[in-house]
C-alpha cells in the first residue's frame, strides 16, 4: 500500500509505504485523518481485496455485493457466469 501525502499550504510531500501480506492484505484505515480516503479504501477493497481495519463502511463500491473475488489481483480467476449470464470472453 502506497500513500502519497501533500500539504498545499506548507508544500511538503510525504510518501508512506506499507507492506501487506499477500494472502490476507490488511491495514488500518486512514478515514479518521483523511475523510475522502473512504472512497479510495472502498475501491482498493473492491478491486484488490485489501481489508481496512476500522473503516466506517467497508463494502463494494464498483462491483455488485455478490461478486466473487477481486478483479485486479494477480491470482483472480474470472467467473464463467454471473446470475446465469456468461461473463467469460
Residues 8-49 have pLDDT tens digits of: 999 999 999 999 999 999 999 999 988 989 999 999 999 999
The rounded distance, in Å, linking the Cα atoms of 7 and 34 is 12
Per the model's pLDDT, the better-predicted residue between 81 and 18 turns out to be: 18
Domain positions in the chain: 27-86
Q: Which of 72, 17, 78, 77 is nearest to 50 (CA)?
A: 72
* pTM of the predicted structure, to 2 decimals: 0.84
d(CA 34, CA 56): 13
Q: Backbone phi, then psi, for 60, in 5-degree steps?
A: -60, 145
In the predicted structure, residue 72 carries a pLDDT above the cut 70: yes
Amino acid at each position: 500500500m502506497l500513500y502519497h501525502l501533500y500539504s498545499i499550504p506548507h508544500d511538503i510531500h510525504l510518501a508512506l509505504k506499507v507492506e501487506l501480506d499477500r494472502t490476507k492484505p490488511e491495514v488500518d484505515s486512514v478515514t479518521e485523518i483523511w475523510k475522502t480516503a473512504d472512497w479510495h479504501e472502498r475501491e482498493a477493497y473492491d478491486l484488490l481485496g485489501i481489508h481496512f481495519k476500522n473503516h466506517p463502511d467497508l463494502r463494494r463500491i464498483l462491483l455488485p455485493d455478490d461478486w466473487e473475488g477481486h478483479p485486479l489481483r494477480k491470482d483472480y480467476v474470472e467467473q464463467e457466469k454471473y446470475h446465469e449470464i456468461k461473463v467469460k470472453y
